[in-house]
Amino acid sequence: MEFEYWQLLLFPLFFALGWVAARIDIRHLVKESRALPRSYFQGLNFLLNEQPDRAIEAFVDAVKVDPQTVELHFALGGLFRRRGETERAIRMHQSLVDRDDLPQELKLQALAELGQDFLKAGLLDRAEQVFEKLRGSDLDEDAKRNLLEIYQLEREWEKAIAIAAELPDVASHKEIAEYFCELAAADMMRSHREAARQHLDTAIEHNRKCVRASLLLGDLEAQAGNDGQAIEAWQRIEQQDPAYLALVAQRLLDAYRRQDRREEGLQLLRSYLEHYPSLDLLDVVFQLVLEGDGADAAYCLVRDELKRNPTLLGFDKLIEARLLVAPPEVRADLELAKGIVQGYTRRLARYQCDNCGFKARQFYWRCPACGGWETYPPKRTEEFDLTP
Q: Is 300 labelled as part of a ligand binding site?
A: no
Q: Is 356 labelled as part of a ligand binding site?
A: yes
| Longest Cα separation, the chain | 115
Cα separation, 200 vs 212, whole angstroms: 9
Q: Residue 98: is it exposed, middle or buried by C-beta count within 10 angstroms (0-12/13-18/19+)?
A: exposed
Cα separation, 199 vs 180, whole angstroms: 5
Q: What's the length of the chain?
A: 388
Using the 8-state DSSP alphabet, how is residue 36 labeled? S
Q: Is 181 labelled as part of a ligand binding site?
A: no
Number of C-beta neighbours around residue 155 at 10 A: 12
Cα separation, 131 vs 117, whole angstroms: 12
Tell me which amino acid residue 84 is: G
* Residues in a beta bridge with 154: none
Q: Which residues contact 57 (CB under 8 A, 6 or more apart)?
A: 43
- Report whether 240 contacts 218 (CB < 8 A): no
Task: Work out the angle at residue 263's Cα, subtended by the Cα atoms of residues 259 and 267, and round it to the nearest 5 degrees.
Answer: 120
Q: Which residues contact 224 (CB under 8 A, 6 or more apart)?
A: 193
Cα separation, 254 vs 93, whole angstroms: 57
Q: Residue 333: is it exposed, middle or buried by C-beta count within 10 angstroms (0-12/13-18/19+)?
A: exposed
Residue list for the binding site: 353, 356, 367, 370
Residue list for the binding site for Fe cation: 353, 356, 367, 370
